[in-house]
Structure 1
């Protein structure tokens, strides 16, 4: 069972290698002393009017399960009831609509148009000559493409249990794909969590 878990986590680490993530931490904090953790109650949801698909028990449980697995793989176990933990953990989710605007040239003729990505100049009229015959004249123009997509953000905070001060924060933002099944949503969260916690604790590798 343990070997299977290690294999799964190794695959997740490989998958999250291309997911953008960064972290900040207290340089004077002794992360070597972090051996146990406990969850702060009610993990937070960031952003005004956050969609219900981020603020529900199913999503919360997937995030908690993913964080638990990643920390366990690093040798940091969940504190038993009644026993103080080394650190406290919480997370924040957000979602934002993004707009991507791009342009490309088009070559217009009497017979219609087609995209012209490598035209030397535009807009304007141009007659083409080639292979010994007179080519069809036309016009260059710019096409504008507008694509809307959603970007999710995940923040994981590590707080010193005694001082209640933030000692580590990891963040990731990535484009949200279309997810139709619980398995796809679970994998998306697992990959995001693995990317955020990849370098926690600072300077530490995954436990064998």
Structure 2
């Protein structure tokens, strides 16, 4: 049996779906991990942790380069400054050491779209004509969608103890437009929202 919805109902459903899609934050799904023994104090000083071969930020050549590195560091610096944290040049003078990691993963999903019920048949003196599909059943459009899932991690380590104090992990679909400075600034600001500090 086919179900026909009034156009107003279809429009309302479409608008609600668009509203939900618009609710996604710049950083997508953000998970926060906070140490129960090592706290992050608002207004602390920080420095970027030295990068060693054991702590490579990314092995993916699309993002393992100086341009992306500078953009991400600038985005994190701006986000931390907005929360009241102060960057110092020497790690030995900092309360916190900051580092980040980025990963990209190719994924795909199967999506099926219901193309809707058959159109209303036109009826006249000689019977009804219209409809499409077998026995008037709705048609399905099935496609494979390939996308890139991006993960970004920002760590704050207590320099004195060497213990991880706070970690934010962002997971979302990404494309080439996410590598520009404005997009990275928005992601970093979203990731540090729950960090103790000044303006939220």
Q: Residue 61 of structure 2: SS of its match in structure 1?
A: coil
Tell me how far 1:19 sits from its aligned partner: 3.3
CA distance in structure 2 between the aligned counterparts of 1:53 and 1:171, rounded to whole angstroms:
20
CA distance in structure 1 between the aligned counterparts of 2:110 and 2:37, rounded to whole angstroms:
44
Are the counterparts in 1 of residues 46 and 91 from structure 2 also a CA contact under 8 Å? no
Name the TM-score, length of structure 2 as normaliser. 0.71
Are the counterparts in 2 of residues 172 and 195 from structure 1 also a CA contact under 8 Å? no
Q: Residue 58 of structure 1: SS of its match in structure 2?
A: helix
Total equivalences in the alignment: 168
Of 16-25 and 59-68, more deviation after overlay is shown by 16-25
Shift in CA distance, 26/41, structure 1 to aligned 2, threshold 3 Å: same
CA distance in structure 2 between the aligned counterparts of 1:16 and 1:193, rounded to whole angstroms:
15
2:9 corresponding residue in structure 1: none
1:97 corresponding residue in structure 2: 106
Of 191-200 and 133-142, more deviation after overlay is shown by 133-142
1:177 corresponding residue in structure 2: 175
Which of 76, 87, 90 in structure 2 is aligned with 1:78?
87
Structure 1 residue ranges without an equivalent (≥5) = 1-14, 106-115, 120-127
CA distance in structure 2 between the aligned counterparts of 1:35 and 1:158, rounded to whole angstroms:
11
Structure 2 residue ranges without an equivalent (≥5) = 1-22
1:25 corresponding residue in structure 2: 34
Structure 1 residues 137-190: Cα deviation after superposition (integer angstroms, max 9, x where no partner)? 64144321111111211100110101101111001112213439xxx6112221
More strand by share: 1
1:124 corresponding residue in structure 2: none
Name the TM-score, length of structure 1 as normaliser. 0.68
Q: CA RMSD in A?
A: 2.9
1:62 corresponding residue in structure 2: 71
Tell me how far 1:30 sits from its aligned partner: 3.3
Are the counterparts in 2 of residues 44 and 90 from structure 1 also a CA contact under 8 Å? no
